[in-house]
Copies of this chain bind each other. A is one copy, B any other.
């Protein structure tokens, strides 16, 4: 008997996901009835985007898991009607895209390419950066995305420190943890990359106090979550020169309102939440594998810890 899989995301996403999901389910050997519309009591699995119409999970009486299409779960993890396992998206394509975006922007700041991208006026502006081995980069967050980015930067030769709430070990990376570790990680960060999950504990990780701990003129790159940064404190630190530049991909409100001071600030680069996208083909494989596991009685991949919030 086929398993019933409800696709609960914005309707326009169906076009992107229908074929990849059907192909991936077939490839995983799962006979499935994948659809946009099913009586809740007949649904076995919910493929889920937190901005879908489904906000009350109570009627899904036999569903075995909610399989999130997004890496971020902050908009669903606190849903009190959700009693069944929730899996995050950890997608090879998402990770790879993040590595490319982060590496590109770290190199952009390291090499100061903006000097020449903006400076096509005939002036021969020599700027020779230090080698990457003399450039200290700190990655906050050592989950799937943070670890992959830290590793790629270390492979390119950067002097990389990683920080996570609880102790972790990533080959080639100086790993710090806890509150004291954060201070140490920030004190030496010429460039800091934010890849923490958004939880009540990580909100405003960069605030007036922690920004002041960084070396003067440090660079901030945030492809993680908007609320990791206290925006008012960052703007003040940019104005004083304590922070040299911020490249921000995520914001408390998106799209970032046109009158937000970040747009106008000469030392801020706004990018429109593009650091990484979930790719339909690779994401569909992750979803299909979790359904296969559920049916085989094997443990789900990438389960969210409700207490930690990620």
Contacts and interface: CB of A to CB of B under 8 A. Distances in A.
Interface of A: 93, 96-97, 99-101, 103-105, 107-108, 110-111, 113-114, 116-118, 120-129, 131-133, 152, 155-157, 254-256, 258-259, 263-264, 268-274, 277, 279
B127 A96 contact: no
A157 B124 contact: no
Contacts of A259: 122
Given A121-B263, A156-B152, A100 B131 contact: yes
Total copies of the chain: 2
Given A96-B133, A107-B100, A263-B122, A277 B128 contact: yes
B156 A124 contact: no
Contacts of A101: 111
22 contacts: A93-B131, A96-B132, A97-B128, A99-B156, A101-B111, A103-B103, A103-B156, A104-B104, A107-B107, A108-B108, A114-B117, A116-B270, A117-B117, A117-B269, A120-B263, A120-B269, A120-B270, A121-B263, A126-B274, A127-B274, A128-B274, A155-B155
Contacts of A155: 155
A207 B49 CA distance: 51
Residue with the highest number of chain B CB atoms closer than 10 Å, among A157, A268, A274? A274
